[in-house]
Amino acid sequence: MTEPLRVAHYLNQFFAGIGGEERAGVGVSTRPEPVGPGRALQAALGDAARIVGTVICGDNHVAEREEAAVAAIRRELEALRPAVLVAGPAFGSGRYGLACAAACRAAAALGIPAVTGMHPDNPAVEAHRAHVLIVPTAESATGMQAAVASLARFALRLARGEALGPAELEGYVAQGKRRVWDRGRPGYQRALDMLLDKLHGRPVVSEVPFHAPDRVTPAAPIADLGRATIAMVTTGGLVRKGNPDKQVAANATRYHRHSVKDLEALTPEGWEAYHAGYFNHIVNRNPNYILPLSFLRDLEGKGQIARVHEWMYALPGVSTPVAMARQLGHRIGEDLREARVDGVLLVAT
């Protein structure tokens, strides 16, 4: 009788049942059995494969100590000796998606094939789809059964060493790789078919991927600035001196909120830039260039605005995927709306 294929499963602290945000900093550990969604994954794999270990790590631990986390995951996989790694699914969770991608990279370094699952708008998709096999899923865990079924199908094929065809046929997220593939019909015939479909109002799927950019409707002008509360948001990576909050210099997965309630201006003794996308020295000499608190205080003193919002928001915009930037922007926007802020001065680099 053929031995079942060995499968390793990667989960974050939440799906492993350890806890939520308060436990997101836990390090890497392994359990010898299927855990949480792993039980559904094992059922989907059937007798053909067996989950020999569940590798667990907190999302914040991976985000803040990625190199050490990836090395620890690699050590756990070396001990498990799986034929394939399944990570997640992460659905729409950005940090979890990035952690799953990191786990897949750890497996790849050992020559172990890996697959993960997440919603196409997860920021990890845009950042890692070129080198990580990603199966599209629903946005939330309500789509767990369908996600697990897809992951099991790909896991078995990878473990058996089967080659995958094009993404459009197999159903995984396109990786942007060009390969020779016989579509069975010449290009001019396919082009004419698409033209006829378009002329007759039938659905048309182009062979050239195109994602139209988002169009954002501008906000209405503030009617009376003299009664307005104005907040400051910057993608210029402003941090407190020494970066005690451990902000990253690029590829942000969170923003940082700092109080300016008792400040008249930002000084180089208290603030600096931590950003990998521009020359920081000018900002480090005068942080008000990237977050003009001193100028807003002047307007506030003259009554041209009612007041400056007591919190400012900062993150590095460079290399941050659009989906993650959208997610962070929504969170900041919700916070400002709850605070009844009237307008935002958004300072980029």
CATH topology of domain 5-170: Rossmann fold (3.40.50)
Q: What is the pLDDT of residue 216?
A: 82
Q: Consecutive sets of 10 residues in the chain, 349 residues long: mean pLDDT of each?
A: 90 95 92 96 96 96 93 97 97 93 96 96 90 95 95 97 89 83 85 93 80 79 94 94 93 92 94 91 91 94 96 92 86 94 89
Q: Residue 308, class by beta-carbon neighbours within 10 Å (0-12 exposed, 13-18 middle, 19+ buried)?
A: buried
Q: Which helix (H) or strand (E) holds 197?
A: helix 187-199
One-letter amino acid for residue 160 of the chain: R
Taking the CA atoms of 145, 150, 151 and 153 in sequence, report the sign of the dihedral they define. positive
Q: What is the pLDDT of residue 57?
A: 97
**How distant, in Å, are the alpha carbons of 11, 100, 124, 164 from that of 23?**
13, 17, 21, 37
Cβ 69 vs Cβ 34: under 8 Å: no
Q: Which residue has 């935002």 as its token pair?
A: 344
Cβ 136 vs Cβ 117: under 8 Å: yes
Q: What is the pLDDT of residue 182?
A: 77
Q: Can you say how many angstroms the Cα of residue 114 is from the centroid of all Cα atoms in its chain?
A: 18
Smallest Cα–Cα separation from 58: which of 101, 96, 87?
96
Q: What is the pLDDT of residue 209?
A: 66
- Token pair for residue 8? 């390793």
Q: Can you say how many angstroms the Cα of residue 223 is from the centroid of all Cα atoms in its chain?
A: 37
What's the CA dihedral at 177, 182, 185, 188 to 10 degrees?
Answer: 40
Domain boundaries, the chain: 5-170, 225-347
